[in-house]
Amino acid sequence: GAPGAEPLRGPLDDFEGSTLWRVRTTVQDSPGSLARVCAAFAGRQVNIVSMQSHPLPTGAVDEFFVRAPRSLTRAELTALVAGAGGDDIWTGPADAHDLVDVPTHVLALATRTALDAAELPIALRQLFGQCSIRQYPGAAARGTAGVDGHVMRLPVPSGELIELTRPQLPFTPTEFARAQALVELDTLLGPRVPDVRARLSVPAGAELTVRRADAADKAAALAMHHRCSPETLRKRYHGPVRDADRYLDHLLDARHGQALAVETADGRIVALGHLMWDDDSAEVAVLVEDAWQRRGLGLDLMRRMSALALEAGVETVYAVTQSSNTGLIATMRRLAAPLDYEVDEGTLVITAHLAEAAEELPVPWQTRPGR
């Protein structure tokens, strides 16, 4: 413009970037209580993107996803809600994934659970965010079913108990009802594992198949155990060889994770991989029969399990082994993921950060060509 003239302005000159927040607060069960919170948001140019209410006996927990001016700090946002009568306020950053309609989100999780029993812990975690999940057998089940602040206990008809702990947010009766519906769906459908498989070709020319395994494979898995050397079993199970067989009931139970089996054309299992959910991470383990070692089976299973973990939203996996197990160490290194190592009295824990290696991992059930 000419010297001394006012600078040109456009429609975006007054635009301020925004930030997504998740806000949860308890309000009184009285007319106008929610309106006061909404008016306070409007007064600071905070846009309510979505909102849901969780009824309580003496009030309600209202949960908002809001888009606020970037200049509004977390402390200011909390003070804003408190000034409007909110209590027990929690605020945290949100992202676009949090904006999915709640009924749509729950139905999608129910569909995943219906297709695969191994999805139940993942569905519960995706429903409630960061939380710890433990499952107690009937004899060890403790506590009363229901919600107790930051702890939710869900009974399973088999006599087991699922316990969820979420330190940052107390659970509500509405959330308990949603979780209980998922557990009841899982129980009603019974044990189920999707029939997914892929062909493998190994250097020796044998045609192998990798697929999901379940409790029906116990006899074939036991037969493989009996063909393995004591040293191979000891490296896999980190304890007395005589105890190896009794672990299979747990490892082949889809509710604890996903098991993969590599089998020959005549139905013999020659390798097993286990992906076991552990809070926001997962443990991975591989057992390859002695006669089939050094043919790439362990690496193939490790890559497929890592890809399955990423599909479930789990970005770190870890393996527990002996520090002398050079084969497993080399396999983990070939994941092309950043690794952390922890050694304690001869026990080695290797943690892989998968997000940085996602492009190197296969589609879990694609056929692997010969090498």
Mean pLDDT across 134-161: 78
Q: Which domains does the chain have, with CATH numbers?
A: 18-98 (3.30.70.260), 102-189 (no CATH), 197-360 (3.40.630.30)
**How far is it, in rounded angstroms, from Cα 180 to Cα 153?**
9
**How far is it, in rounded angstroms, from Cα 120 to Cα 179?**
10
pTM for this structure?
0.76
pLDDT-derived band of residue 1, with 50, 70 and 90 as boundaries? low
Mean pLDDT across 55-75: 90
Other C-beta atoms lying within 10 Å of the C-beta of residue 207: 11
> What's the maximum distance between 2 C-alpha atoms anywhere in the chain?
91
- Answer yes or no: is pLDDT of 86 > 70: yes
User: Which tens digits make up the pLDDT trace of 297-312?
Assistant: 999 999 999 999 998 8
**How far is it, in rounded angstroms, from Cα 291 to Cα 300?**
17
Say what the pLDDT of residue 4 is.
63
pLDDT-derived band of residue 14, with 50, 70 and 90 as boundaries? very low
Say what the pLDDT of residue 204 is.
61
Give 3-state DSSP helix, strand, coil % of the chain, rounded to 5.
35, 30, 30
**How far is it, in rounded angstroms, from Cα 105 to Cα 330?**
40
Strands (E), the chain: 18-28, 47-56, 59-69, 87-93, 132-136, 146-148, 151-155, 161-165, 197-201, 207-213, 257-263, 269-278, 281-288, 316-322, 339-344, 347-353
**How far is it, in rounded angstroms, from Cα 96 to Cα 65?**
10
The segment with the largest mean pLDDT, out of 185-194, 201-210, 266-275, 343-352, is 266-275
* Contact by Cβ (8 Å): 27, 34: yes
pLDDT-derived band of residue 169, with 50, 70 and 90 as boundaries? confident
100 vs 116: which has the higher pLDDT: 116
Residues sharing a CB contact under 8 Å with residue 218, sequence separation 6 or more, in sequence order: 248, 249, 252
* Contact by Cβ (8 Å): 328, 336: no
Say what the pLDDT of residue 367 is.
76
* Contact by Cβ (8 Å): 318, 349: yes
User: Which tens digits make up the pLDDT trace of 326-357?
Assistant: 899 999 999 989 999 998 877 899 999 998 88
Q: Are strands 47-56 and 59-69 parallel, antiparallel or unpaired?
A: antiparallel
Mean pLDDT across 317-326: 90
**DSSP code string of 231-267:** HHHHHHHSS-GGGGGGGHHHHT-GGGEEEEEEE-TTS
User: Which tens digits make up the pLDDT trace of 16-38?
Assistant: 588 999 999 999 888 899 999 99
* Measured CA distances, 167 to 23, 131, 152, 171, 342 (Å): 16, 7, 11, 10, 26
Say what the pLDDT of residue 5 is.
64
Mean pLDDT across 224-235: 92
